[in-house]
Structure 1
Amino acid sequence: MSFNENAHGVYAIAATPFHADGTLDHDSIGRMTDFYLRCGVTGLTILGIMGEAPKLDADESLAVVKGVVARAAGTPIIVGVSAPGFAAMRSLARSSMDLGAAGVMIAPPPHLRTDDQIVTYYRQAIEAIGDDVPFVIQDYPLLLGVIMTPKVLRQIVMDHPSCRMLKHEDWPGLEKISAMRGFEKDGSMRHISILCGNGGLFLDFEMERGADGAMTGYCFPDMLVDVVKWSRNDERDRAHDLFDAHLPLVRYEQQQGIGLAVRKYVLMKRGAIASDAQRKPGSALSAAARAEVDYLLTRVARTDPRAVL
């Protein structure tokens, strides 16, 4: 498996399946991987924030990597390796690459405040995992509280040839995409892939600003695949029409605290996982919330028959 700076399409952020008692659901790991591949994704990103990675121990993390890589049959797999210390980061990164992962994703720790601290952190992280490991920068200031300006991102990209991709999750972030592509046009930064997160909430216009696709966990990755494809083919109205049909459910997923519960509930209804359980501490949908999600699905189904569950 491999990916490079020209990667495009949809790298779905995968959930981690659990049984109701909180143990890993190994059968659903394969089932979930098959589901994402049927949806037409280009790659998968596992052990991210949506994947409840901090709740797994080291052996469980590697079990997830091994299960997904084996089932993915050559589809590129990116592994989230963010950790409080570099020893744990290196161990998971090197072990994941040995198992066949395509690369890793690194988010900055929340305590970083200055540009110099951010640049130094990424330099030390790459020294730890090795400059032979392709990596993705995760830029998610809303959750992590770390502000990475376009100039800081450019410096990280230019300092580290092993940087292949930016996972862009700033909000508002359209101007940042334009700034990054502007650096490429003026020759001050080499080209890298830009895939966008935030649940896909701004994907329609992110594609028009120069993004290459999505890296997010919305429960209809097949919708994201279509929007990215049609945007790249200059079928603007077709892409926006489908996106608009899903937007109420995309918005509902963005609620802090229950977003993952919504995603897992719909993934369960779609047959991707056997249970919508999260490992504690975790959230759960009330009966009223489930009814609201079911109602939203009926509305999406008026336009997209994939929502008929």
Structure 2
Amino acid sequence: MWQGIIPAVTTKFTEDGDLDHAEMERCFAYQMESGCHGLVACGTLGEGNMLTHEERLSVLRLCKQATGNRPALLTISEAGTREACELAGQAASAGADGVMIVPSPIYHTNRQETIANLRAIAQAADLPVMIYSNRVGYRVDVTPDMMEELADDQRFVAIKESSDDIRRATEIFNRLGDRYAVFTGVDNLAFEALTAGAVGWIAGLVVAFPKETVAIYELIRQQRYKEALDIYRWFRPLLDLDVSTFLVQQIKLAEVIEIGSNDRVRLPRMPLTGEHRKKVEEIVEAAIASRPPLPHF
């Protein structure tokens, strides 16, 4: 039911640290105008765990305003199942088209606990669910056999596959066929995942470079692999910025340079400074200077 390029959008803040609604409206609209297929609010890149529930719902509403009849999802990433279920129910009331669930990011659940956690949140939301499987970032691996066990609940419709192992996508397909819509969640494995059968990309650098991101997806869909690969190879130094402890600050700095946004973050994060900032600026500026023309598709 879901496919394509779905940005994991950044959350924008004012100088006082409040939500910057106007800047998010501008940035979210730009994503959709550039051909994206939906938006995900308040994930890792969106600093969701630094926001109150009400703030997350506010960002979700802005996403839904931008997506129109395309999906707007809220990320559910709570330490406790009770709190996750509460937020999931609120997301449904606020107009979410679905939720993306991260198993508990604080207590690292075992198999039984992970499955019970996911089932409870899905029931509370009663919306289509994307399972976020990220054993690298969150240390809980939702494995293909767990996906098979969850497949009896039709609310589980998609997987954000972020294991950092490109073989995992094929393992899911071999075991479960097309039961789930498989999305890649690792920017610098996107070409590999999409050509292996993933139907979409929950993307990060897309927030600064949406047209290039959409072009890669659309060209692969049309089996124009060489053209897509040329763009992807140009894009790789930028995409590598997504795979870092500092992905939020790095991608927000890319937004500063490319689309004139800001890189304000919520404490304890702080904007990049010194040599780290200079290095990221050099990567982004070099990419902009060598940007390839995009083919028609």
Q: TM-score, length-normalised on structure 1? A: 0.87
Does the CA contact (< 8 Å) of 2:85 and 2:120 recur in 1? no
Q: 1:272 to 1:140 in 2, by over 3 A?
A: farther
- Count matched residues: 290
User: Residue type matched to 2:226 in 1?
Assistant: D
Does the CA contact (< 8 Å) of 1:22 and 1:280 recur in 2? no
- 1:162 equivalent in structure 2: 155
> How far does the alpha carbon of each residue in 1:152-192 deviate from its partner, in whole angstroms, 9 at most, with x for none?
12212x131101110010112x211101111244xxxx522
- 1:252 equivalent in structure 2: 241
In structure 2, what is the Cα distance between the partners aligned to 1:16 and 1:305? 29
1:50 maps to which of 45, 52, 57:
45
- 1:191 equivalent in structure 2: 179
In structure 2, what is the Cα distance between the partners aligned to 1:50 and 1:303? 24
2:218 maps to which of 213, 229, 233:
229
Give structure 1 stretches of 5+ with no counterpart.
none
User: Residue type matched to 2:168 in 1?
Assistant: K
1:278 maps to which of 246, 265, 271:
265
User: Residue type matched to 1:294 in 2?
Assistant: E
Does the CA contact (< 8 Å) of 1:154 and 1:180 recur in 2? no
- 1:123 equivalent in structure 2: 119
SS of the residue corresponding to residue 170 of structure 1 reads: coil
In structure 2, what is the Cα distance between the partners aligned to 1:57 and 1:30? 19
Does the CA contact (< 8 Å) of 2:194 and 2:217 recur in 1? yes
Q: Is 1:182 equivalent to 2:177 in the alignment?
A: no
- 2:72 equivalent in structure 1: 77
Does the CA contact (< 8 Å) of 1:32 and 1:272 recur in 2? no
Q: 1:223 to 1:70 in 2, by over 3 A?
A: same
- 1:263 equivalent in structure 2: 251
Q: Is 1:61 equivalent to 2:48 in the alignment?
A: no
- 1:147 equivalent in structure 2: 141
> How far does the alpha carbon of each residue in 1:69-117 deviate from its partner, in whole angstroms, 9 at most, with x for none?
1233222101012212334323322222223221001111143453223
- 2:99 equivalent in structure 1: 104
Greater relative contact order (CA < 8 Å, ≥ 6 in sequence): 1
Q: Root-mean-square deviation (CA), in Å?
A: 2.0
User: Residue type matched to 2:169 in 1?
Assistant: I
- 2:291 equivalent in structure 1: 303
SS of the residue corresponding to residue 131 of structure 2 reads: strand
In structure 2, what is the Cα distance between the partners aligned to 1:146 and 1:64? 26
> How far does the alpha carbon of each residue in 1:241-275 deviate from its partner, in whole angstroms, 9 at most, with x for none?
1000011122234232x2211111111233363x2
In structure 2, what is the Cα distance between the partners aligned to 1:91 and 1:284? 32
Does the CA contact (< 8 Å) of 1:79 and 1:103 recur in 2? yes
User: Residue type matched to 2:196 in 1?
Assistant: R
Query: Structure 1 residues 101-110 or 297-306, which shifts more?
Result: 297-306
Q: How much has 1:222 moved relative to structure 2?
A: 2.4
Q: TM-score, length-normalised on structure 2? A: 0.90
In structure 2, what is the Cα distance between the partners aligned to 1:291 and 1:109? 35
2:193 maps to which of 174, 192, 206:
206
Q: How much has 1:54 moved relative to structure 2?
A: 1.4
User: Residue type matched to 1:154 in 2?
Assistant: E
- 2:85 equivalent in structure 1: 90
User: Residue type matched to 1:227 in 2?
Assistant: I
User: Residue type matched to 1:90 in 2?
Assistant: C
> How far does the alpha carbon of each residue in 1:126-164 deviate from its partner, in whole angstroms, 9 at most, with x for none?
33x15x3111100010011112221112212x1311011
In structure 2, what is the Cα distance between the partners aligned to 1:46 and 1:67? 9
In structure 2, what is the Cα distance between the partners aligned to 1:169 and 1:103? 19
User: Residue type matched to 2:264 in 1?
Assistant: A
SS of the residue corresponding to residue 201 of structure 1 reads: helix
Q: 1:139 to 1:56 in 2, by over 3 A?
A: same
Does the CA contact (< 8 Å) of 2:253 and 2:263 recur in 1? yes
In structure 1, what is the Cα distance between the partners aligned to 2:120 and 2:242? 35
Does the CA contact (< 8 Å) of 2:161 and 2:183 recur in 1? yes
In structure 1, what is the Cα distance between the partners aligned to 2:72 and 2:228? 26
Q: Is 1:291 equivalent to 2:255 in the alignment?
A: no
Q: Is 1:242 equivalent to 2:234 in the alignment?
A: no
